[in-house]
Amino acid sequence: MSAGISNIYVCTNCDAQLSKWSGRCLECGAWGTLVQQTITSKEKEERKLDIEPAVAVDLSSIESLKLDRIKTNISEFDRVMGGGIVPGSVILIAGEPGIGKSTILAQIAQKVSEQIKKNQNIIYISGEESAVQFKDRFDRLNYKYANLKLICETNVEKILSAVNKEKPSLILVDSIQTIYSANLPSEAGSINQIRYATIKFLEYAKKNNVATILVGHITKDGQVAGPKSLEHIVDTVLYLESEKSQNYRLLRATKNRFGSVNELGIFEMTGVGLKEILNPGAIFIEEQTAKIPGSVISCIMEGTRPFLLEVQALTSKTIFGYPQRKASGFDLNRLQVLATVLSKRTKINLTNQDIILNIVGGMRISDPAVDLAVCLAITSSLNNKIVDRQTIVLGEVGLGGEVRAVTKLKDRLAEAEKLGFKTAIVPNLDVKTSKLKIVKVKSVGEAVANF
Ligand code: TYD
Ligand code: MG
């Protein structure tokens, strides 16, 4: 190795920087995530030479931020973005291969191109697909190509020089992993390259006030391919996710400098692209499980929107050794806690029962408001007793078995009412609804004894 180059090792999971390689990241404990990164002496010098003094500005002299957002009119996308695309911002859309990143990018291109003026344009940089493949997708989506230009290129210098000539109003990059710079010694696709290319796009975006959307691939466990290490460079990070069994695609922001990160966008993958689901209240409820014990309906809040969902539990006698607890879509530790509370605070014996818990529809939830529904699902399966489908169950369960208040109870009940539910089992609070029959419970014991 030449004298001017030194190596550091960067964890693709937590972004820790280590001087030595090891099989396991010393910071986050993930295995096999350390990737070599090279710092050339030129970069080192650049880091040292910090000669120009920074400017200190008076806050009162700065005008307030007026965000002239570009609305895509894909309402779910706009909402997750906090109202549209902010000019000059860099947005990363990350997701597994095949999830629909190129599709959503094509749809954004189309929607924005409909709105910009005749002499403006959008540039789509495709490092993965040829022009023919790209056009095929657009044809499939029934799109016209007004104001849209395609660059099939992976060299970031060439791309930016072309972009500079075109002066687009929006830049779309599919995908950042394929872009490389000839100025760097490391190979295309390495973290150094991906980061460098991202910074180049960022510089261009900020300098010219052009919004840029980058697509980044992640692997099944959300690692390796690099988007994690880009998260602090870009302004907004969106994840496009799905579950195996259904066509739904969930879009969530994990970082947003120009909006909240609580909103969830829901799309359905159809033959003609991603369709927004504007009223998703009950899409995660399965009709088929209506007459099966162990299934209970509850409601979570995602951002400002309530979603009804179904909690399913299956108990079976432990054949050998310790009782098993398995959860999908729900925190396993939380399940252990709830199972212990049930055993200790009610007459139910779970010490010789395996418990499997599933959140139907592939949602991953962390809202404590479903605690009581989880408890009722377990006892419903154990007692082989069906919980009425027209009943919604809400409440956090404390270690003493007490049923605690949940946030936004009114909104959740209003959604249930709208979807035709008849009864609500809720914590012992002052609640008023017009149609729902309200059943207040103080403890989990009271709830399982009655339902
Ligand atoms: P794509 O956007 O290429 O995924 P990514 O860029 O994230 O890898 O789309 C992936 C899948 O979506 C692909 O299997 C085909 C399917 N698809 C549809 O079902 N309908 C459509 O209209 C389009 C464009 C794609
Ligand atoms: Mg793609």
Bridge partners of 253, per DSSP, are 238
> What's the rounded Cα separation, in Å, for the pair 396 and 35?
42
Residue 242, CB half-sphere, CA atoms under 13 Å: how many?
A: 17
Q: What are the structure tokens assigned to 243, written together?
A: 């579950």
| Ligand 2 centroid – CA 120 distance (Å) | 25
Ligand 1 pocket test: which of 129, 130, 269 has the largest number of ligand atoms within 8 Å of its C-beta? 269
272 lines ligand 1 (CB under 6 A): yes
127 lines ligand 1 (CB under 6 A): no
Q: Which atom of ligand 1 is nearest to the CA of 128?
A: 6
> What's the rounded Cα separation, in Å, for the pair 314 and 354?
8
Instruction: Kindly report, residue by residue over 289-313, the tens digit of the pLDDT.
Output: 567 899 999 999 887 788 899 999 9
Residue pair 375/447 in contact by the 8 Å Cβ criterion: yes
Residues 6+ apart with CB under 8 A from 318: 324, 352, 353, 354
| Ligand 2 centroid – CA 100 distance (Å) | 7
126 lines ligand 1 (CB under 6 A): no
Residues 6+ apart with CB under 8 A from 291: 386
DSSP 8-state assignment for residue 18: E
Ligand 1 pocket test: which of 101, 103, 242 has the largest number of ligand atoms within 8 Å of its C-beta? 103
Nearest bound ligand to CA 178? 2
Count the helix, strand and coil residues of the chain and give each as a percent rounded to the nearest 5: 30, 30, 40
Instruction: Kindly report, residue by residue over 7-49, the tens digit of the pLDDT.
Output: 888 887 778 888 888 888 888 888 888 888 877 666 666 666 6
Residue pair 341/334 in contact by the 8 Å Cβ criterion: no
Residue pair 274/267 in contact by the 8 Å Cβ criterion: yes
* Residue whose C-alpha is closest to residue 417's, from 433, 405, 402: 433
Nearest bound ligand to CA 272? 1
Give residue 162's Cα distance to chain centre: 33
Q: Which atom of ligand 1 is nearest to the CA of 271?
A: 20
> What's the rounded Cα separation, in Å, for the pair 108 and 170?
10
In the block, tokens 């030129």 appear at 42
What are the contacts of 114-118 at 24+ separation with CB within 8 A? 114/146, 115/70, 115/71, 115/73, 116/147, 116/169, 116/170, 118/147
pTM for the full predicted model:
0.73
Give the H/E segment covering residue 192: helix 191-208
Residue pair 371/396 in contact by the 8 Å Cβ criterion: yes
Per-residue pLDDT of the chain (451 residues; tens, 9 = 90+): 445 567 888 887 778 888 888 888 888 888 888 888 877 666 666 666 667 888 888 888 877 766 688 899 999 999 999 989 999 999 999 988 889 999 999 999 999 988 888 888 999 999 988 889 888 888 888 887 778 899 999 999 999 999 999 999 999 999 899 999 998 888 887 888 889 999 999 999 999 999 999 999 887 665 545 667 788 899 999 999 886 556 788 898 989 998 888 788 889 888 889 999 877 777 777 666 567 899 999 999 887 788 899 999 999 999 988 999 999 999 999 999 999 999 999 989 999 999 999 998 777 888 999 999 999 999 999 999 999 889 999 999 999 999 999 999 998 998 898 888 999 999 998 888 778 999 999 999 999 988 7
Bridge partners of 426, per DSSP, are 440
Q: What are the structure tokens assigned to 402, written together?
A: 């007490």
139 lines ligand 1 (CB under 6 A): no
136 lines ligand 1 (CB under 6 A): no
> What's the rounded Cα separation, in Å, for the pair 35 and 444?
49
Q: Who surrounds ion ligand 2 at CB < 5 A? A: 102
* Residue whose C-alpha is closest to residue 375's, from 302, 445, 285, 289: 445
In the block, tokens 């929006």 appear at 170
| Ligand 1 centroid – CA 247 distance (Å) | 11
The pLDDT value given to residue 47: 63
98 lines ligand 1 (CB under 6 A): yes
92 lines ligand 1 (CB under 6 A): no
175 lines ligand 1 (CB under 6 A): no
Pairing verdict, β 236-242 and 305-317:
unpaired
Sheet arrangement for strand 34-40:
17-18, 5-11, 34-40
178 lines ligand 1 (CB under 6 A): no
| Ligand 2 centroid – CA 215 distance (Å) | 8
Residue pair 142/273 in contact by the 8 Å Cβ criterion: no
| Ligand 1 centroid – CA 419 distance (Å) | 32
| Ligand 1 centroid – CA 98 distance (Å) | 6
Cα-trace Rg, the chain? 26
